[in-house]
C-alpha cells in the first residue's frame, strides 16, 4: 500500500490533500463532482467523529478502484486505508461513506471488546431469526433459515436481501429490528450501521431502543478511548 501511495502521489500531486486529521493522509486519485468539496467533507467528519479514531486510518483515497467496482461498492476499508468512489451524489453521501468505513477500522481495533463475549452476535442473530419468520409470513415463501443464521458476509445472501426481497420491504419489516436494512447484511455491517446511527445520524435513543447491546458496545469503546 505504501508503495502504491508513493508511486501514485507523483502523478496526482495537484490533487493531494494532507490535513491535520490525526495521521490520516487524503489522496484524490480521480476528480470529484463539482458539488462535492473534499475539504468540507473532512471538516464535517472531524466534527462528528472522535479524533482518536482517525489515528486508525493511514490513508483515504478517492477514485475508481477494483476493490469497489468488483462488488459495486461505494467505499471499502482495508489494512488502514479507506477506498472511496469519486462518484458521489453530494457531500452528505461522501461523509456517510467515510463514517461507515471508519466504523470498520474501529471495529478492527476493538475486535475483542465488540465480539469476544458473543453478546452482540446473539443480539444480531436474534433479529435475523425474527426477520426470517416475518419474511416467510409476508412473502409466503420457504426461505433458507441457515442463511439467516450465518453472521458472516455472504454475497448470495446480500443479493437475496437487495434484489429478491428489496430494501423498501425490508425497511418496513425491519424498522424495529435494524437501524437500516444494510445492517441486516452481516454482523460486521450491523456494527458499522449502528456506528453510523450513533456518530453520523446522532440517533442515540433509537439505536439504544432497538439495539441495546450494540449501543452499549459503542459506549464502551468511547470510554476506552478516554483512558
Mean pLDDT per block of 10 residues along the chain (227 residues) reads: 48 51 82 92 92 90 89 91 95 96 96 98 98 96 96 95 95 96 97 97 97 98 90
Nearest to 38 by CA among 19, 11, 66: 19
Give residue 8's pLDDT: 47
The full set of domain ranges for the chain reads 2-109, 113-226
Question: What is the rounded CA–CA span in Å between residue 133 and residue 209?
Answer: 21
Nearest to 209 by CA among 177, 168, 171: 177
DSSP 181: G
Give residue 82's pLDDT: 94
Give residue 19's pLDDT: 59
Give residue 67's pLDDT: 85
Please classify residue 163 by burial: count the beta carbons closer than 10 Å to its beta carbon, then call 0-12 exposed, 13-18 middle and 19+ buried: exposed
Q: Where does 2-109 sit in CATH, by number?
A: 3.30.2010
DSSP 17: E
Question: What is the rounded CA–CA span in Å between residue 41 and residue 37?
Answer: 6
Give residue 148's pLDDT: 98
Buried b (16+ CB within 10 A) or exposed e, 59-76: bbbbbebeebeeeeebbb
Query: How many Cβ atoms sit within 10 Å of the Cβ of residue 10?
Result: 8
The C-alpha cell at 95 is 461523509
Give residue 227's pLDDT: 75
Give residue 16's pLDDT: 55
Amino acid at each position: 500500500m505504501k508503495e502504491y501511495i508513493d508511486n501514485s502521489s507523483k502523478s496526482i500531486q495537484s490533487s493531494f490533500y494532507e490535513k491535520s486529521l490525526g495521521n490520516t493522509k487524503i489522496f484524490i486519485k480521480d476528480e470529484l463532482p463539482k458539488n462535492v468539496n473534499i475539504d468540507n467533507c473532512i471538516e464535517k467528519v472531524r466534527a462528528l467523529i472522535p479524533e482518536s479514531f482517525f489515528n486508525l486510518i493511514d490513508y483515504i483515497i478517492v477514485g475508481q478502484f477494483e476493490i469497489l467496482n468488483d462488488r459495486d461498492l461505494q467505499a471499502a476499508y482495508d489494512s488502514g486505508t479507506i477506498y472511496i468512489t469519486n462518484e458521489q451524489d453530494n457531500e452528505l453521501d461522501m461523509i456517510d461513506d467515510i463514517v461507515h468505513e471508519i466504523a470498520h477500522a474501529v471495529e478492527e481495533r476493538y475486535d475483542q471488546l465488540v465480539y469476544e463475549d458473543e453478546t452482540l452476535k446473539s443480539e444480531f442473530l436474534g433479529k435475523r431469526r425474527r426477520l426470517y419468520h416475518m419474511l416467510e409470513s409476508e412473502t409466503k415463501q420457504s426461505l433458507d433459515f441457515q442463511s439467516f443464521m450465518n453472521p458472516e458476509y455472504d454475497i448470495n445472501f446480500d443479493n437475496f436481501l437487495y434484489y429478491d426481497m428489496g430494501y423498501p420491504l425490508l425497511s418496513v419489516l425491519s424498522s424495529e429490528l435494524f437501524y437500516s436494512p444494510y445492517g441486516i447484511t452481516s454482523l460486521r455491517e450491523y456494527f458499522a450501521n449502528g456506528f453510523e446511527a450513533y456518530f453520523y445520524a446522532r440517533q442515540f435513543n433509537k439505536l439504544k431502543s432497538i439495539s441495546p447491546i450494540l449501543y452499549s458496545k459503542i459506549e464502551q469503546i468511547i470510554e476506552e478511548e478516554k483512558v
